Structure 1
Amino acid sequence: MRLSDYITLLVFEIDYHFRGIVSTFTCYFRKHLCLLAIVLSINVFAEPVTYTDQAGRKVEIPKTPERISVVATPAGTMVVALDGSGDRLVATTTNSKNAINEGVLNEFFPILNKISDKVVGKDDSPNIEALLNLNTDLVIQWARKNKSIEAMEAAGLNVAAMQYKKTDIAKTWLNDMGIILNKSQKAKEILDWQEKTYQNIVAKTKYIEDKNKPSVLYLMDESSAASSESHFQFYIDTAGAKNAIKVKGNIINIDPEMILNANPDIIWLFGFNINLKPNDIYTNPIYSEIKAVKNHHVYKVPVGGDRWDPPNQELALALEWFTRTVHPNILPGSMREHLKSALEFLYGKEATDEQLDIMLRAEINKDASGYKGIIN
């Protein structure tokens, strides 16, 4: 019998033997013992969780993991959002750690400054020795990395696999992370918020005629861009725009001539590329006659608790920001206020004005026409 069951029996014994004698005390004691029983039952003596991961593997997690190492981006910050703390995340990739430090998540949860980024090689291969030294009790790995999963399991590590499914990543990953962390209700609340935001946006943008849709170039770096078969097309469509790149593909190679021929109205700069900034585009004489440059419509994608390029727990905020850069006056309310309230909902933290500016890249995007109005 679990300890929580003994406590429940004790509550009933107290209620039976002392009813009518010390009723006030009993009610108080009973209430708090029941709460304790619930907490112990959920957090300490919870039954093992068994589910099918995104590699089709049956995974058994004996208890809610206390020390999680993440290879598959952006599962790390999803752990933080669902758990409401940084306590469980002990390691992630260098790229993900950069995002945590580039935004303000490490300020919200200072313990994240101590997480390791030495558990993954350049090819996403795990450093098993480092994972074991960190006492990792769950590794989140890409589903496609079959050999690395087998190697980690052979070393005694518990592994859950995640698969990249374009914009479905937010739904499938949050659902799985909710199961793993016993936070399915929080995952559902986040997904409901995302769906509501999406529906509110497309209710406005779906009526925009094609001739009134600005063209957008989603630039990964100066030699590659997102085409129609990438998940970034979903952002472009939702925002009421069209892709400036007409060549079919996912992420395609481009050159200055292709960019000049595309002549985009708007340029979005990939948030993962920390070195590429709007000023690099504005000051490059090759691009001086592009509409986006002449009209100062070049924007670096923000980073909140995580970067807004991949669909994650902050997808609703990303969709709103993308839409506002394309049609500044189409959505009601304030981007800034929506971000502030979302951070309280996701992380339980109240951001300062300075932190909001950092996340929205107010300084980096300051030369963009009307950017203050877009983010206020």
Structure 2
Amino acid sequence: MKKSRLTLLATTALIAALTAGCGSNDATNNATDSKDKATTQEEKVVQDQLGRDVKIPTKVDRIVTGGILPFYSTWYVATDSTKEIVGMHPNSYSAAKNSILAKISPDVLKADTSFVKNGEVNVEELMKIDPQIYFEGTADEKTIKKVETTGIPVMGIKAIDAVKNTEPMGTFNSWLKVISDITGTTERTDRFLDEGKQVQNELNEKLSKVKESEKPRAMVLFNHSKDSIVVAGNNFFGNQWLNATGAKDVAQKDIVGTKEVNMEQIYKWNPDVIYITDFTATQPEDLLKNKIAGQDWSQVKAVQEGKVYKTPVGIYRWFPPNGDAPLMLKWMAQKNYPDLFTYDMKTEIKNYYKDFYSYDVSDDEAEKILHPSSDSALQ
């Protein structure tokens, strides 16, 4: 179990490191500029985020998403549908099963996961699913090449938009544009982009009055167990969210991507606030009640003051790129500055889901979004 978890973490860190130096802005612009390059009535060419021209069917109704775990939810946000998702990575399926998306668009649970065996793509099983497009993270060159040998069109998708590393929605926005290129639809994409800009501007206006010395010092606990403490740092999603919501990332100068650290390092940072991601089963009470054997969290300021929070899970996990990003901005801003941002997050969730997803969220569902169970982190 520990070995597989560490492998996942190493892969995640590698993705962050690899994309840090890549020209993601060029890839995003190319994807936008390549809209609807017609080849025949049945096919067209779009550019992926590796800058490659990929020939795909004009009408796409069967897709598979691989190791780029949040991408299935991006498809839903862009298209208002999950029936086209005929296959997804088992880790994505676990997130979908434990998210509200399973209620909003239950077709998502019909996706096949059998094409991933022991963390590797089995091309024979993948071909049985018969996808028209396979989506994979650009860092996983091995899988991209393997799938391409089958003749299935592969779209490379970047995990981190390095050029916009202070903009937490930059990556997700670029994904939406890729899907718009594929489907030819932009209405929902445009609405999401407008909402995200509006919320960020709202935060910026209030945060502009906050002195640098008054900003909370925050830490993102990316993955955690009694055997391992992995913290997220610079050029990763946690750093983006913290910057956007007016907090200082204590790990920004010491960590690029994610890194395993010890308690001595935590004591040295001594953060005011700790955010626990939805990629780990650890809950705030595990730290607040000092339940982890061999780790004394009681000495950390955030724990002493009760400022330890679990990132929510809605359409997808809120820590990486996701369709609830405007809500994530409000939620984290309020945790950082409870007196400055007085959102009623249950109401915010209900209004957003009604407006954007045409779904009426119950009080119980809103509570589960804001306080997800550890099951949502299962890999």
Note whether the superposition's TM-score is higher than 0.5: yes
Partner of 2:156 in structure 1? Answer: 161
Q: Which residue of 2 aligns with 1:6?
A: none
Q: Which amino acid aligns with 1:116?
A: D
Tell me the residue number matched to 2:244: 238
Distance of 1:129 and 1:363 partners within structure 2: 35
Structure 1 residue 194, shift from structure 2 partner: 0.9
TM (normalized to structure 2)?
A: 0.78
Unmatched runs of 5 consecutive residues or more in structure 2: 1-39, 162-167, 375-379
From the superposition, tell whether residues 148 and 290 of structure 1 become closer, same or farther in structure 2 (CA, over 3 Å). Answer: closer
State the match for 2:271 in structure 1: 264
After TM superposition, which residue ranges in structure 1, 4 or more long, deviate above 4 angstroms? none
**2: distance between equivalents of 1:221 and 1:152?**
30
Structure 2 residue identity aligned to 1:145 = D
- Residue equivalent to 2:363: 353
> 3-state DSSP class of the match of 2:367?
helix
Secondary structure of the residue that 1:150 maps to in structure 2?
helix
Deviation of 1:46 after TM superposition, in Å, equals: 7.1
- More divergent stretch after superposition (162-171 vs 199-208): 162-171
Q: What corresponds to 2:46 in structure 1?
A: 51
Q: Where does residue 320 of structure 1 map in the other structure? A: 330
Match of 2:219 among 213, 217, 220: 217
- 1:310 maps to which residue? 320
The 2-side partners of 1:110 and 1:243 are apart by 37
* SS, match of residue 365 in structure 2: helix
State yes or no: 1:73 paired with 2:63: no
- Give the whole-Å Cα distance in 1 for the aligned partners of 2:52 and 2:195: 30
1:271-311 residue CA offsets vs partner (Å, 9 max, x unmatched): 111x2111211222611122211111110100100001112
Deviates more, 1:200-209 or 1:151-160: 151-160
Query: What does the per-residue CA deviation read over 1:198-251, in whole Å, with 9 as the maximum and x for residues that have no partner?
Result: 111111113211211111110113411112332321211122111223524221
Q: Is the 8 A contact 2:75 2:179 kept in 1?
A: yes
* Distance (Å, rounded) in 1 between the aligned partners of 2:97 and 2:372: 17
Structure 1 residue 192, shift from structure 2 partner: 1.4
Name the residue aligned to 2:260.
Answer: 253
Question: Residue 339 of structure 1 corresponds to which residue in structure 2?
Answer: 349
**SS of residue in 2 equivalent to 1:218:** strand
Aligned to 1:192: 194
Which position in structure 1 is the counterpart of 2:307? 297
Which residue in the other structure is 2:90 paired with?
A: 94
What residue in structure 1 maps to residue 284 of structure 2?
278
What is the CA–CA distance in structure 1 between the aligned matches of 2:256 and 2:149, rounded to whole Å?
38
Find the structure with the greater CA-based Rg: 1
Alpha carbons of 1:338 and 1:51: their partners in 2 closer, same or farther (altered >3 Å)?
A: same
Question: What root-mean-square deviation, in Å, do the aligned CA atoms of Structure 1 and Structure 2 show?
Answer: 2.1
Q: Is there any run of 5+ residues in structure 1 with no aligned partner, and where?
A: 1-44, 365-376
Q: Cα offset for 1:122?
A: 5.2
How far apart, CA to CA, are the structure 2 residues paired with 1:235 and 1:242? 10
Distance of aligned partners of 1:203 and 1:142 in 2 relative to their CA distance in 1, 3 Å threshold: same
TM-score, normalised relative to structure 1? 0.79
Mapped to 1, the partners of 2:242 and 2:300 lie a distance apart of 19
| Amino acid across the alignment from 2:47 | T
Structure 1 residues 133 and 192, CA gap change in structure 2 (3 angstroms): same
- Higher relative contact order structure (alpha carbons within 8 Å, sequence separation ≥ 6): 2
Further displaced range: 222-231 or 79-88: 222-231
1:228 matched residue in structure 2: 234
List aligned pairs for 1:86-165, cutoff 5 A: 86-121=82-117, 123=119, 125-165=120-160
- Report the CA distance shift for 1:362/1:80 in structure 2 as closer, same or farther (over 3 A): closer
Match of 1:11? none
SS in 2 for 1:288: helix
Q: Distance in 2 between matches of 1:261 and 1:333?
A: 32
- The SS at the match of 2:108 is helix
Paired-residue identity, %: 24
> For the residues of structure 1 that align with 2:58 and 2:219, how far apart are their CA atoms?
46
Q: What is the DSSP-based 3-state SS (H/G/I as helix, E as strand, rest coil) of the residue aligned with 2:209?
A: coil
Structure 2 letter corresponding to 1:261: K
